[in-house]
Amino acid sequence: MTPRAQAVAARPSQELELPPLGQPSDPAWLSVSRRRAAAWVRANGFPSSKQEDWRYTSIDPVLAVPLVDGTGTTGRRPSLAVLDLLDLLGPRLGAVRLVMVNGHLAPELSQRAALPGGARILRLEDALADNPRQLASLWSWRSGGYPHALRALSDALATDGVLIDLPAGAVVEEPIEVVLLSAPGGAERWSHPRVVVAAGAASRATVIENYLGAPGRPSVTNALTQVMMDDEAQVDHYVMQADSTDGFHFSSLEVRPGRASHFSSRLLAVGARIGRHEVQVALQGEDAEIELSGLFLTGAGQVHDNPVLVDHAAPGCRSRQLYKGVAGGDGRGVFNGHIVVRAGANGTDAQQINKNLLVSDRAEVDTRPRLEIFADDVACAHGAAVGQLDPGAVFYLRSRGISYQQARALLVSGFAREVIDGFADGPIRQYAELLASAQLDRVVLTRQDGAAPAPAGGRASSASAATEGAAR
C-alpha cells in the first residue's frame, strides 16, 4: 500500500499500521496503556475538518507521511554527521542543553551541568525503565479518553524524552533547554518526544523547548509536554517553534498548576508547514496564577493553529492570555481560545486577548474566543481583533525616509513586540528577536505582497490608492 493510500484509509481504520508500541522493557501498566491508546486511534481515527477544533487545520497532508517506514529499517540516527547537526542547533539558551534528534535523545550533542537543590534531568527512556511509578499517573492522566488521535499516538508510541524532576524547594536559575531537532535521514518520519516537568512544592525552574528542523523529506513532530506542579511551585516555559517548513509540528502542553503556584508559557511560532500548538491548563489548586502568551508569524504556505483551553476548576485563580498573530502570503493563523470557569471557581480572574495583523490580502486569521462561566463572583474579559497595517503609519515612516518595505517591517515588529517583551531578558529574548525578524523578512513581508505603491500624491496615485486599499 502506498503511504498516501494508507493515510486516506486511516480515518478511522482498524487496519491502521503502527510501529511497535514502546520498548520490550516497558512495565506492564505502560504496555496496557499503549495498547489502549493504539486501540483508541484505530477506533476513532484521525480528526477531520468537520470537527470544531480542527475546522481550520486539515490533517490530510500530515497523514501522507507514513507512520511506519516502508523500508523496515529501525535505524534511529539521521544520516547527518554530528558536526552538521551542531551547525543546525544555533545559540545555546541555557546552561543545560538536552538535544533530541528525531525524537531520541542524543547525549553526544547534549550539554549537562550539575543542578542545585537535588534537581535532576533524566532521560525518559531510563526513567521508564528504572522508576516508572512517577510516570504512571501521567500516562493514565486522561481517564476520559483522548481529545484526538495525535494525543493518543503519543501515549501509544512515545518512548524517549526528558524528565525534569524538581524536588521541593529546588530553585534552578539557569534555563533548561531541550532542543527537539528534526533532521532528514532517519528511518522514522514521525517522532513523539515527551517532556515531563515534575515541580515539587516551592521549586522553581525555566524550561525552554526549542524546536528546529532541517529542510528535506517531510517529517512529523508530535510532541507532548506535561507539567505537574505542587503548591507554590514556579515554572516558566517557552516554546520556540522553528521546525522546517517542509514538515509538520504538533505540540501539546498539559499543565496542572498546584495551589498558589505560578506558571507561564510563551510561544514563538515561525516554522512548519502546519504548526499546531495546543495548550491545556487545568486549574485545580486554589490561588494559582498562569500566564500564556504566543506570537505566530505565519508566512506563505503555512498554517499556525493555536487551541488554548484554560479550565478554572478551583477558586481564586488568575489567568492571562495574550496571543498575537501576523499572517502574510497565503498564510493562515488560527486562535481558538477557550476559558471555562466551573461552578465553585469563585474569585476567578480570567483574561484573554488575541490580536492579529494581516499583511497580505490573501492571508487569513480565524479567531474564536470562547468564554463559559458557571460560577458567580468572577472577573472575565476577552477581546479579539483582526486588522491591517495602518496606511497612515506607513506614510509617516516613509515621509521620514524609511522605505516602504522597511516601514512595514518596523510596524509589524512593533506589533509583535508586546509578546516578545514578555520573554525573559537575555539569550531567550535575543533568540526570539532573531527568529522573529528573520521570519518577517523572509516570509511574511515578501516582495510580492509588499511591492511599494506607485508614487503617492503623484499623477499615478489613483492606481496606488487602489493598491493600498486592497492591502488594508
Partner 1 sequence: MLVIEGLHASIGDTEILSGLSLEVAAGEVHAVMGPNGSGKSTLAHVLAGRDPYRVTAGRVLYDGADLLAMTPEERAAAGVFLAFQHPIEIPGVANMYFLRTALNALRRARGLDEIGPVEFLKLADEKCRLVEMDRSLMDRSVNDGFSGGEKKRNEILQMLVLEPRLAILDETDSGLDIDALRVVAKGVTSLRSPGTAVVLITHHQRLLDHVVPDRVHVLAGGRIVRSGGPELAAELEAHGYADLEAMPAAGLSALIGPRR
CB-wise, 343 or 466, nearer to partner 1?
A: 466
CB-wise, 351 or 467, nearer to partner 1?
A: 467
CB-wise, 72 or 457, nearer to partner 1?
A: 457
Residues that bind partner 1 (CB under 8 A): 390-393, 395-404, 406, 410-411, 413-418, 452-453, 455-459, 461-462, 464-465, 468-469
CB-wise, 82 or 460, nearer to partner 1?
A: 460
Continuous segment of H or E residues that includes residue 162 = strand 161-166
C-alpha span between 272 and 249 (Å, rounded)? 6
Q: Shortest gap between Cβ of 327 and partner 1 (angstroms)?
A: 18
Q: Shortest gap between Cβ of 452 and partner 1 (angstroms)?
A: 6
Q: Shortest gap between Cβ of 450 and partner 1 (angstroms)?
A: 14
Q: Shortest gap between Cβ of 419 and partner 1 (angstroms)?
A: 10
C-alpha span between 164 and 143 (Å, rounded)? 24
Q: Shortest gap between Cβ of 352 and partner 1 (angstroms)?
A: 20
CB-wise, 255 or 436, nearer to partner 1?
A: 436
How do 370-373 and 332-341 pair as beta strands? parallel
Q: Shortest gap between Cβ of 237 and partner 1 (angstroms)?
A: 24
E strand intervals along 262-402: 262-269, 274-283, 289-298, 303-312, 318-327, 332-341, 349-358, 364-367, 370-373, 379-388
CB-wise, 371 or 397, nearer to partner 1?
A: 397
> Residue 363's closest CA among 334, 390, 321?
334
Q: Shortest gap between Cβ of 299 and partner 1 (angstroms)?
A: 20
CB-wise, 186 or 453, nearer to partner 1?
A: 453
Q: Shortest gap between Cβ of 356 and partner 1 (angstroms)?
A: 15
C-alpha span between 304 and 295 (Å, rounded)? 10
Q: Shortest gap between Cβ of 22 and partner 1 (angstroms)?
A: 47
CA atoms within 13 A on the CB side of 341: 25
Other beta carbons less than 10 A from residue 31's beta carbon: 14
CB-wise, 130 or 421, nearer to partner 1?
A: 421
CB-wise, 227 or 322, nearer to partner 1?
A: 322
CB-wise, 39 or 460, nearer to partner 1?
A: 460
Q: Shortest gap between Cβ of 416 and partner 1 (angstroms)?
A: 7
